[in-house]
Structures are given as structure tokens and as C-alpha cells.
Amino acid sequence: MIVVTGATGNIGRSLVDRLLADGAAVRALTRDPARAQLPAGAEVVRADLTGSAADFAPLLAGADALFLNLAAGGDRAALALVEAAAKAGVRRIVLNSSMAVTDTPADENNFIARMHATVERAVRDSGLEWTFVRGGNYATNALAWGPAIRESGVVRDAHPGAQGVPVHEADLADVAAVALLDRTGTHTGQAYLVTGPEALTVADQVAEIGRAIGRETRVEQITEEAAAEAMSGPHLPKEAALELVRMFGSTVDAPAFPLSDAVERVTGRPARTFAEWARDHAADFS
């Protein structure tokens, strides 16, 4: 049995489908099974992971493996789940981590890296088998442009020339699935940097979405402050958002993110392009 946290999320939905297709037993966690629209083949279980650690034992009972996504309840919930998994006899954790983690002291200076590195440490210390999927930057970040593109076709961004290596959620899910289903131990103790296949600027990505929906789209530049304000929310304080915006700024004219071939190495087929992602998500922008 494989327990999937964040099962209705971008990665989770694709992962549940992939695991079921491979014949695995899947327990899919969601705060609201009635609205989750998860496949009938999965055992769908209600779980708000911001609850106390004591509630986690039944979620993990009889499980061999756990897919842990910090999007489902945050880092505190993830730390409690790691502890509960070890107690419940779970054998393996595949952690959805982040390419922000570098295994250097610099991880302490960055909100995103620090949060993921803390959970990685707990997973390593748990004594369980582990694989880290250090993905980034997600193509799904472009969904934030949905309202602007639908309304006017104009995306406001502080750094139109900032470069990313957007990765399709289905590729993150495929890498996670291979690690969860691994029978040979090939993926145990591996931290995979998982990116898309090409570096693209914000302007390139907005143009690609325009091609996918058959409409003109463009980027209008705004200040870093305004961009951070728009990006911040309950799980991303304004200061952390500003850190991110500045980090994106440092990638203008310089491909700061390394391209990785991990998708191909782990799954045996090339990573999906951003153009493919935009076509898969055309309805989100139309």
C-alpha cells in the first residue's frame, strides 16, 4: 500500500493515476473525499494534516511507502508524518523536495530551501529508505497567470527575462512513482534534481501559452515589491515572496538553474516540454 499526501494536487493526481495503472494499492489522502474526484481504484481517506501527530497512525496503517508533499499541511505536518511513518513500520518515503536545496550552508539563508532541507534531514534521520524529488521550477507556477491571460492576455511580472526550467507535474509524478515502486533499491538514498528539458524566460512561457490557446499574450514589467505583494499568501509570507522575486531577477540573462536529465534517466523517456504543458493546460487559460 502506498500512501499519497496531496493526492488531489498537481503532482498527486497524476501520481495516483500512474500508481494505479502500475497495479499498486493506493491510499489517497484529501481533506474532502466528496469533492476530491479521485479514481475509484484508490482508497480515498479524509485527512487534514494540520491536525495532531496522534491522528496519523491510522492513515499509515499497513502502508509500505509514503509520498510526502509539503503542500499538504506544510513542514510541521510533514515532520510529524515522518515520525508517524517510522512508528507505523512504513519502509520507504519519497519526499517531494525542492531544487532550492543544495546541501550547503546556503540552504539556511533561503526560506524555501530551509523548509525542505529540514524535512529532508528528518527523513534521512528516520532510518527509512528514502528518495528526494528535488523539482523546480514547476510549470504549474504559470497557472498564476491564468486570470490575467483570460482577462487581457497581459501578464505583469518584475522580470520578464528571468529564466526558468519549468517541469511538468506529470514528470515529477512519474519520477516519484518509479522511486515508490522501486524493487531493486536503485533509487534508495538518491536526491534527484528534476527539471524540464529547456531554459525559458517568463516572456517565452507566456508566448508559449498564447500559442497553445491561439491568442496574443505578452508580459508587462512591474516592480519587485508589487510582484512580491501579488505572490504572497497564507503559505508564503511577503518577505519570502520578495526573496523569490529577487532570486528570479538574478536569472535574467544568466541560466541560474542547471538543466537535469533526471526524468529521462529515471523514467526512460524525455521530460515533457513547456509547449506540451501549455497544451495540456489550455483550458486553464481560455
Q: Which grid coordinates belong to 150?
A: 483570460
What DSSP letter does each residue of 26-72 carry, written as one string? EEEEES-HHHH---TTSEEEE--TTS-GGGGHHHHTT-SEEEEETTT
* Least distance from ligand NAP to the Cβ atom of residue 166, Å: 8
Per rule CB under 6 A, is residue 38 in the interface with ligand NAP?
Answer: no
Q: Between 111 and 153, whose beta carbon lies closer to ligand NAP?
A: 111
Residue 112 CB neighbour total at 10 angstroms: 19
Q: Which of 20, 30, 117, 200 binds ligand NAP (CB under 6 A)?
A: 30
Per rule CB under 6 A, is residue 207 in the interface with ligand NAP?
Answer: no
* Least distance from ligand NAP to the Cβ atom of residue 244, Å: 9
CB 202 within 8 A of CB 274: no
| Cα–Cα–Cα angle for 175, 167, 192, rounded to 5 degrees | 40
Per rule CB under 6 A, is residue 11 in the interface with ligand NAP?
Answer: yes
Per rule CB under 6 A, is residue 72 in the interface with ligand NAP?
Answer: yes
Per rule CB under 6 A, is residue 196 in the interface with ligand NAP?
Answer: no
Q: Between 152 and 199, whose beta carbon lies closer to ligand NAP?
A: 199
Per rule CB under 6 A, is residue 110 in the interface with ligand NAP?
Answer: no
Per rule CB under 6 A, is residue 217 in the interface with ligand NAP?
Answer: no
DSSP code of 232?
-
Q: Between 134 and 187, whose beta carbon lies closer to ligand NAP?
A: 134
Q: Which listed range, 65-73, 152-160, 174-182, 199-207, lies at the site for ligand NAP (CB under 6 A)?
A: 65-73
* Positive/negative CA dihedral, 11, 105, 242, 155: negative
DSSP code of 271?
P
Q: Between 111 and 183, whose beta carbon lies closer to ligand NAP?
A: 111
Q: Which grid coordinates belong to 57?
A: 497512525
Per rule CB under 6 A, is residue 260 in the interface with ligand NAP?
Answer: no
Q: Between 30 and 110, whose beta carbon lies closer to ligand NAP?
A: 30
Q: How far apart are CA 72 and CA 66, in angstroms?
A: 13
Q: Which grid coordinates belong to 205?
A: 512561457
**Closest residue to ligand NAP in the complex (CB):** 9
Q: Which of 26, 49, 123, 212 binds ligand NAP (CB under 6 A)?
A: 49
Closest C-alpha to 215, from 139, 168, 282: 282
181 contact partners, CB below 8 Å, separation of at least 6: 19, 22, 24
| Cα–Cα–Cα angle for 173, 179, 180, rounded to 5 degrees | 85
Per rule CB under 6 A, is residue 136 in the interface with ligand NAP?
Answer: yes
Per rule CB under 6 A, is residue 130 in the interface with ligand NAP?
Answer: no
Q: Between 72 and 241, whose beta carbon lies closer to ligand NAP?
A: 72
Report the run of H or E that residue 168 belongs to, with start and end.
none
Per rule CB under 6 A, is residue 70 in the interface with ligand NAP?
Answer: yes
Cell 524493487 maps to which residue? 183
**What does the binding site for ligand NAP look like in residue numbers (CB under 6 A)?**
6, 8-12, 30-32, 36, 47-50, 69-73, 96, 98, 135-138, 140-141
